[in-house]
Amino acid sequence: MQATANTRTYDVVVVGGGAAGVGVSVTLRHAGIENFLILDRQTVGASFASWPAETRFITPSFPTNSIGMLDLNSIAIGVSPAFSLEVEHPTGAEYAAHLRGVAALFELPVRENTDVLRVTKVGEDFRIDTAEDTLRAKHVIWAAGEFQYPRLNGFVGSELCRHTATIDSYEGMEGDDFIIIGGYESGIDAAYHLARNGKRVKLFERGCPWKDESSDPSIVLSTYSLERMREDLFSAHVELFPLTSVNSVVRADDKYDVATGDGGKFRTEVPPLLAGGFDGSVKLVGDLFERREDGFPLLNEHDESTIVPGMFLCGPAVRHDAHVFCFIYKYRQRFAVVAKAIATSLGLPAEELEMYRQWGMYLDDLSCCGEECATC
């Protein structure tokens, strides 16, 4: 599956070999595009493989469902993690294996262990500088993801904390009393697994996502997380502090003092766990995108940069108006949008992309990802 670098100009270079990169590359194949290359700085699915061992998908996988979409966590037509893995909530390692299988099935041209240093528009083409060489492409799809780029700032002393993305496993973690900062999915997941191991946990969250009412899991906790919070072991070991911001973390006498916005002071013997989300990889090519008021990249209707034509974005960082595409079953709806735009620019008919409409994907319509959308 390792492609050989050469001096030719590719029609497309896809940066990232995760769910977004592999998924959009399969769609490029369906659009009739053959001259493309996927670059990944590690291996296909590496971000998923580096999840904590106990962490599972919060979106359940099903072999099929009533609206005709094959598996919420599927990235390509005709494949299903639920069917191939025989698991409803896959682990990261299991899903990484699934992605490698999809890449092999569709014979995707993947070049692994390639660190992309910069992407530059030179005339009509793009120059992609890697640690080993330089490639050229007519189009670039940035699909490098978020998990390997955790958010480590936000308050004084945040660098003293340990981000949940750096944890291999919650089993065997030293200490009996833990403080978790952040109460969305990763924070609740960490609290649950620590509770299962008999640890005592204090969890601080500036909001209260377990009480918010919405049909959009991008805003509130998933059903899977809420279900686990209702278990007796969770309530017995986890103390929740909603509407409580953390102002600072200070290390003193080999302990960590946590000060909250309401004047509270708490101490723990182990570094507080930071579950504050991810900066994402888009910051590496931030100069190629304008920014929205919320800081996310500004995209046109084809998920293309508004200032650098030919530069596309795929994955959880995609935003359009109030539509949030942070789950696989959301951002995969944009794969065909990107593939169609690139195929059209190359003079290809992209006739096979019509089948994506029957998969719950819409080539030119954003209405499928609003908060009131039954599909989402």
- pLDDT at position 361, please? 60
Measured distance CA(278)–CA(146) in Å, rounded: 6
pLDDT digits (tens, 9 = 90+) for 59-86: 998 876 544 456 889 999 888 999 899 9
DSSP 68: S
Rounded to 10 degrees, what is the CA torsion of 361, 367, 373, 376? Answer: 40
Which residues make beta-bridge pairs with 268? Answer: 256
Q: What is the pTM of this model?
A: 0.91
What's the CATH number of domain 9-148+278-369, 3.40.50.300, 3.50.50.60, 3.20.20.70, 3.40.50.2000?
Answer: 3.50.50.60
Give residue limits of the domains in the chain. 9-148+278-369, 158-274
Amino acid found at 40: D
In this prediction, residue 98 carries a pLDDT of 97
Residue type, 270: V
- R_g of the chain computed on alpha carbons: 21
Bridge partners, 2 (sequence order): 110
> What CA–CA distance (Å, rounded) separates 87 from 89?
6
Distance, CA of 62 to CA of 140 (rounded, Å): 32
DSSP one-letter string for 19-33: HHHHHHHHHHHHTT-
Instruction: Answer yes or no: are the C-beta atoms of 61 and 89 closer than 8 Å.
Output: yes
Instruction: Indicate the fold that domain 158-274 takes in CATH.
Output: FAD/NAD(P)-binding domain (3.50.50)
Sign of CA dihedral 253, 259, 265, 268: negative
- pLDDT string in tens for the chain (376-residue length): 444 445 689 999 999 999 999 999 999 999 999 999 999 999 999 999 999 999 999 999 887 654 445 688 999 988 899 989 999 999 999 999 999 999 999 999 999 999 999 999 999 999 999 999 999 999 999 999 899 889 888 899 999 999 999 999 999 899 999 999 999 999 999 999 999 999 999 999 999 999 977 767 777 899 999 999 999 999 999 999 999 999 999 999 899 999 999 999 999 999 999 998 898 899 999 999 999 999 999 999 999 999 999 999 999 999 999 888 989 989 999 999 999 999 999 999 887 787 776 666 655 554 444 433 333 3
Kindly state the tokens that stand for 15. Answer: 């940066």
Summarised one tens digit per residue, pLDDT across range 250-309 is 999 899 999 999 999 999 999 999 998 898 899 999 999 999 999 999 999 999 999 999
| 7 to 10, 12, 107, 134, 246: CA distances (angstroms) | 9, 14, 21, 8, 51
